[in-house]
Amino acid sequence: MSTNDELKKETTNGTKPVLADSGFVSGCCKGEICSVCGEPATNKLEETIFYDDPNKMRHPLTAYVCREHFRMIVGGLG
């Protein structure tokens, strides 16, 4: 298993840089692993608690994921 510091830096798609392709990995992901495959995490997903949620005081669910699984979840946005 590699570390976040060893992740290959990705290039842009030739037009505008795509956020997930910038190669940036937040410090909050350091030491975290993808909840799907166990590879180093590059992104953190967080649930939104909407205004009508009956339990507004709860902490949103969060998950760390690798770049590949982040792209699978957000599709063309990532």
CA-nearest of 4, 74, 68, 78 to 36 is 68
Residue where the block lists tokens 């990705």 = 10
pLDDT at 20: 47
pLDDT at 44: 95
Looking at residue 14, the DSSP 8-state letter turns out to be S
Q: How many domains does the chain have?
A: 1
pLDDT along the chain (78 residues), means of 10: 51 48 85 96 94 91 94 75
Residue 9: half-sphere exposure toward Cβ, Cα within 13 Å: 4
Phi, psi torsion values for 61, nearest 5 degrees: -70, 140
pLDDT at 2: 52
- Say what the pTM is: 0.65
Q: What is the CA radius of gyration of the chain?
A: 14
The tokens for 60 are 């949103």
**CB 34: neighbour CB atoms within 10 A?**
20
pLDDT at 41: 96
pLDDT at 74: 86
Domain that holds residue 31: 4-77
pLDDT at 9: 46
